[in-house]
Structure 1
Amino acid sequence: MSGLRKTRDPPKPDQVLPANAPVVAQGIEPQQSGRLLNLPSEPLHKLSLCTSQMSQERKMHMQRNPLSVNEAIGKYGRCLTEFEKTEILGYVVIWFVGPEAMKTQNYDGPNGYYRMVAHDHIAYRYEVLQVIGEGAFGQVLRCLDHKTTEIVAIKILRNMRTDQIDMTEVKILEALRKKEKDTSTSTVQMKDHFIFRQHLCITFEIMGSNLDNILNQQLRRGFPKKLIHHYARSMLKCLLVLHDEKIIHADLKPENILAIDKEHSDIKVADFGLSCFEDEQVYSYMGTLCYSAPELLIRHSYGTAIDMWSFGCVLAELHTGRSIFTGIDDLDQLSCIMEVLGMPPNDDVKKSEFWTAFFAHEWKLKTVVKPISRPLASILGNSDKDFLDFVRRCLTWDPKMRMTPQEAMQHKWIMEGHKTPEQPKDRTGQPSQDPGPSKSNLEDILNQQLRRGFPKKLIHHYARSMLKCLLVLHDEKIIHADLKPGSYTKEAMEQIRQIPVEMQASEPGRKVQAEQSQTGRSRDAAGSTAQRNPGTGTEITQGKTGTHADDTH
């Protein structure tokens, strides 16, 4: 969730609760996969919480039709608190009352955060399952919608204890939902919104992990180039819509970019809690320090261009696995930017009162800046000049010179990467129906799968293929000398199963032929000409030019 850079201390309980008090969620950081709200001695029921799919057994126990208020009180009155017996009268239909929840009547914490109780209801419709995110402005819960039987995410904002609830985020989400009907906005879509116990609640489609968690799972090694390009196009679709609607996201970062599924096949931009329309700005500074544009750091006027700066920072992080600018405060962050981009060329920036105060008083005392001591090319470590130029045009001091989403969509790096590879042609000059087997090696395939590893059955299958190769090498007294994932292509792995190993000399020092006793000798390492891949279930057949296997992983 979004929030100001200043970290929030965990709220302290405003009273000492008895041992049998309801288990509530407050002041504890949720785990990446979501934090259960029950104590270990009080486990959740066996629900399918990881996906939006539910077991048939669970659906059978769900209420098929809503109850009237009187029916709900008559059936579950003993489970309701005195407050709920009055509150429920304001609802027309009742889907769920949380009959098994350990209820509390103290719904708000000292800082306005809603106290969550496992299996309790929200608005007599949703069942609380897990906390999946916390931030300065509220929490995000995984909930079961008893009306639709879907798993949804509900964002519950803090009770700011004011007479008027800020509906800016809802207005922005409504605008994006209307745009989604015409074109893909690559944003997490709002399903509904309502007020519950003085808290604004917004329901969303359930999504996968955010990109920051995925990077952590990969030990911050970064993503493959093709995946970065694919994600970049999706983010640009969102930024194009925001630019056209004059909406500032204001907190674009990996934590607010969510994968749409477990395979991380695409992403959507989330969390518009700090967003605003350009002509309705509320804060002079907002966002997360590492992704903040220079105009925010020096308290200058800002617009949608700050999102393009954040976009450039995100791309650099997806490539390297690390934040490109890692300042610990505004002054240090400006120093980090100057080490990469040099001194600000714009006189208007230097005339900023905030800049002048820092530069005149604190700068020389705290910081020794060496402009361009960390060139962008050395940070990215990328030989792709187009990608380097793309990131550089996002990261410019002057927001007027910064690339717009429209310009970014026309950039060579985006255009070239989106082109479909030319389809191979047969002897007649017509496109071939069989493009041939994949040439990817196992190292590339691991990268494409975000280094998540292979299924056990597939590892076993590959191990047998490698052993067949090693058997032949051992019999022929040949030393491979460079066995690694990059040495195995999918094509070679299947050829090992189908045809004799070709004894060919390789580059010096890589494969050494210790002794060749029988020149021309070969072995059949396949055993059959048509088999089924145990890892994928695809049929592998031997043709005139070798073997072919469908690439399903």
Structure 2
Amino acid sequence: MEMSRGGEARSKGESCTTWSALSSEGNASICSKSPQEILALFGPHLTNREKLELAAMQEVWYFALFNKSQGFNNDGYDDYERNYILFRHEHLRYRYEVLKKIGEGGQGQVIQCLDHKRNILVAIKILVSPSSSKQETYQKMELQIALELQDEGSDEDFNVIKVLNIFHFRGHYCIVMELLKESLHEVIRNAGLRRLDMAMVKTYTRGILKLLRHINSRKIVHADIKPENVLVKDTVTGTVRITDFGTSFFVESQPMNVGGTLEYLAPELLLGYSLTCGVDMWALGCTVAELATGRELFRSNSHEDHLPRCIEILGMPPRYMVNGAPDRTQFFDHRGKMFCPGKKRVPGSFPLHRVLKSDDPEFVEFISSCLRMEPAQRPSSLLAQASKEKLKVVEEETMVEELVVQEEETLVEELVVLEETLVEELW
């Protein structure tokens, strides 16, 4: 296949025809075409659906026409699992050129693309085509949260992945994001037996905490914190960006079925309780332990085995937490004895310090604090409560306007210090 960079359409055989707004000199001349001009160039090769798509466009920055094999859903564009069937160098919404797949999950695919309007590389998450109104509602929630967190400077101040564009294409919601080099999962894998330097582990931890404190203040739960969803922005400074809000939700509007990745699921989620931002702090503890040890903390054989594995390391949850659990009977009998499908798990028989293989008591205590069975006892909840108490004191004790301003400035300074030193205080 031969690609055009001079503004002219070129073809090689019958398999592909392309046009790009990018000139051979890069940014020297980037000029779009109108849909009518594309129709004049490629009209005989276009399907009725493509002609309708073009009619709704205002500008075309990149076009590629392929004789593609037909899929099984969505007029042949989707596979059995309703994922969009991708071809290298095809276009997405007449602007983005598909280069390669860089990620895949139950909610869609992540693709590296070239943006022919801005001449930059980007990552595009293409969600699966929704099969029900319920699934579409969840997808719209992801889009809403992704946009909700895109305040000016939110990437620098709170380590939120930068969203550059959102569009709908051939039945799929697509999120365009900044392209970053690697995730913490790849950092762990590349480190191998050498393990990561503990100073860098702390740096990554602070970076994730920035995001968690930010979304906590917005009453948003990420619900899938894990090494794969923490991307490295700068390998030297350890700056990170957190991505993938596919399972995220607002605390006041929890979905019926909360997703997430098994190895990082908190006990209250398994037991059927309503969720708070504490599930993210649990996942942070799992992630930091993995950064330090090079392996997943809770390796379980199945969903049914996951809670017993957590209990094997951390001991039994409080009695009230077991007795009041909506999904209690999935894990405990009427006497409160734990079911152990497959491998027998004895509560507390494999304590945390042994799993972590660490002689640093502060590090073990930090992980332990994140993994407390009671969500309200995890650091994020304590930090939020401390902030509320400080605000209440200010409201009650400041009667003069100058004093109010002074107290608010002091409060901000105290909270900044509290945020910056949370890791040091616990670890």
TM-score by length of 2: 0.78
Query: In structure 2, how many angstroms separate the alpha carbons of the residues matched to 1:150 and 1:415?
Result: 42
Query: In structure 2, how many angstroms separate the alpha carbons of the residues matched to 1:390 and 1:179?
Result: 32
Q: Structure 1 residues 394 and 203, CA, compared in 2 at 3 Å: closer, same or farther?
A: same
Structure 1 unaligned segments of length 5 or more: list them. 1-41, 46-54, 418-553
Q: For residue 233 of structure 1, what is the aligned residue in structure 2?
A: 206
One-letter code of the match for 1:97? F
One-letter code of the match for 2:143? V
Q: Displacement of 1:353 after TM fit?
A: 4.4
One-letter code of the match for 1:109? D
Q: For residue 291 of structure 1, what is the aligned residue in structure 2?
A: 264
Q: CA RMSD in A?
A: 2.8
Q: For residue 75 of structure 1, what is the aligned residue in structure 2?
A: 41
Mapping for residues 443-482 of structure 1, pairs under 5 Å: none
Cα offsets for 1:280-328 (capped at 9, x unmatched) = 1113442111110000111222111100000001011100011111112
Alpha carbons 2:247, 2:259 under 8 Å: kept: yes
Percent of paired sites with the same residue: 34
Name which of 118, 141, 146 aligns with 2:111: 141
Query: In structure 2, how many angstroms separate the alpha carbons of the residues matched to 1:348 and 1:283?
Result: 20
Query: In structure 2, how many angstroms separate the alpha carbons of the residues matched to 1:357 and 1:116?
Result: 41
Q: Displacement of 1:354 after TM fit?
A: 2.4
Query: In structure 1, how many angstroms separate the alpha carbons of the residues matched to 2:127 and 2:193?
Result: 31
Q: For residue 90 of structure 2, what is the aligned residue in structure 1?
A: 120
Structure 2 unaligned segments of length 5 or more: list them. 1-14, 71-75, 384-417
Alpha carbons 1:284, 1:299 under 8 Å: kept: no
Q: Structure 1 residues 286 and 280, CA, compared in 2 at 3 Å: closer, same or farther?
A: same
Name which of 306, 328, 337 aligns with 2:310: 337
Q: Does 1:111 align with 2:121?
A: no
One-letter code of the match for 2:355? I
Q: Structure 1 residues 264 and 140, CA, compared in 2 at 3 Å: closer, same or farther?
A: farther
Alpha carbons 1:390, 1:411 under 8 Å: kept: no
Q: Does 1:324 align with 2:300?
A: no
Secondary structure of 2:149's counterpart equals helix
One-letter code of the match for 1:72? I
Alpha carbons 1:222, 1:317 under 8 Å: kept: no
Secondary structure of 1:67's counterpart equals coil
Query: In structure 2, how many angstroms separate the alpha carbons of the residues matched to 1:327 and 1:80?
Result: 51
Q: Structure 1 residues 122 and 220, CA, compared in 2 at 3 Å: closer, same or farther?
A: farther
Query: In structure 1, how many angstroms separate the alpha carbons of the residues matched to 2:115 and 2:155?
Result: 27
Q: Structure 1 residues 82 and 357, CA, compared in 2 at 3 Å: closer, same or farther?
A: closer
Q: Does 1:204 align with 2:177?
A: yes
Query: In structure 1, how many angstroms separate the alpha carbons of the residues matched to 2:283 and 2:148?
Result: 22
Query: In structure 2, how many angstroms separate the alpha carbons of the residues matched to 1:162 and 1:200?
Result: 14
Query: In structure 2, how many angstroms separate the alpha carbons of the residues matched to 1:205 and 1:269?
Result: 11
Q: Displacement of 1:75 after TM fit?
A: 2.7
Q: Displacement of 1:160 after TM fit?
A: 1.3
Secondary structure of 2:122's counterpart equals strand
Query: In structure 2, how many angstroms separate the alpha carbons of the residues matched to 1:150 and 1:242?
Result: 29
Q: Structure 1 residues 323 and 365, CA, compared in 2 at 3 Å: closer, same or farther?
A: closer
Q: For residue 399 of structure 1, what is the aligned residue in structure 2?
A: 375
- Count of aligned pairs: 363
Query: In structure 1, how many angstroms separate the alpha carbons of the residues matched to 2:311 and 2:46?
Result: 60
Query: In structure 2, how many angstroms separate the alpha carbons of the residues matched to 1:190 and 1:394?
Result: 29
One-letter code of the match for 2:57? Y
Alpha carbons 1:119, 1:127 under 8 Å: kept: yes
Alpha carbons 1:339, 1:370 under 8 Å: kept: yes
Name which of 375, 398, 405 aligns with 2:351: 375
Alpha carbons 1:289, 1:330 under 8 Å: kept: yes
TM-score by length of 1: 0.61
Mapping for residues 28-427 of structure 1, pairs under 5 Å: 57=24, 59=26, 64-99=30-65, 101-103=66-68, 106-162=76-132, 166-178=139-151, 180=153, 184-219=157-192, 221-261=194-234, 265-360=238-333, 363=339, 366=342, 368-404=344-380, 407=383, 409=419, 413-414=423-424
Query: In structure 2, how many angstroms separate the alpha carbons of the residues matched to 1:103 and 1:63?
Result: 31
Query: In structure 2, how many angstroms separate the alpha carbons of the residues matched to 1:338 and 1:365?
Result: 14
One-letter code of the match for 1:312? G
Query: In structure 2, how many angstroms separate the alpha carbons of the residues matched to 1:274 and 1:353?
Result: 21
Secondary structure of 1:217's counterpart equals helix
Alpha carbons 1:221, 1:320 under 8 Å: kept: no
Q: Which has the higher strand share?
A: 2
Query: In structure 2, how many angstroms separate the alpha carbons of the residues matched to 1:282 and 1:237?
Result: 25
Q: Displacement of 1:135 after TM fit?
A: 0.7
Cα offsets for 1:390-434 (capped at 9, x unmatched) = 1111010011111117748365643699xxxxxxxxxxxxxxxxx
Alpha carbons 2:322, 2:328 under 8 Å: kept: yes
One-letter code of the match for 2:177? F
Q: Which moved more, 1:67-76 or 1:305-314?
A: 67-76
Runs of 4+ that moved beyond 6 A: none
Q: Displacement of 1:182 after TM fit?
A: 9.5
Query: In structure 1, how many angstroms separate the alpha carbons of the residues matched to 2:131 and 2:341?
Result: 42
Cα offsets for 1:322-368 (capped at 9, x unmatched) = 11111122332222212221111241333324224432287167553
Alpha carbons 1:233, 1:414 under 8 Å: kept: no
Q: Displacement of 1:175 after TM fit?
A: 1.4
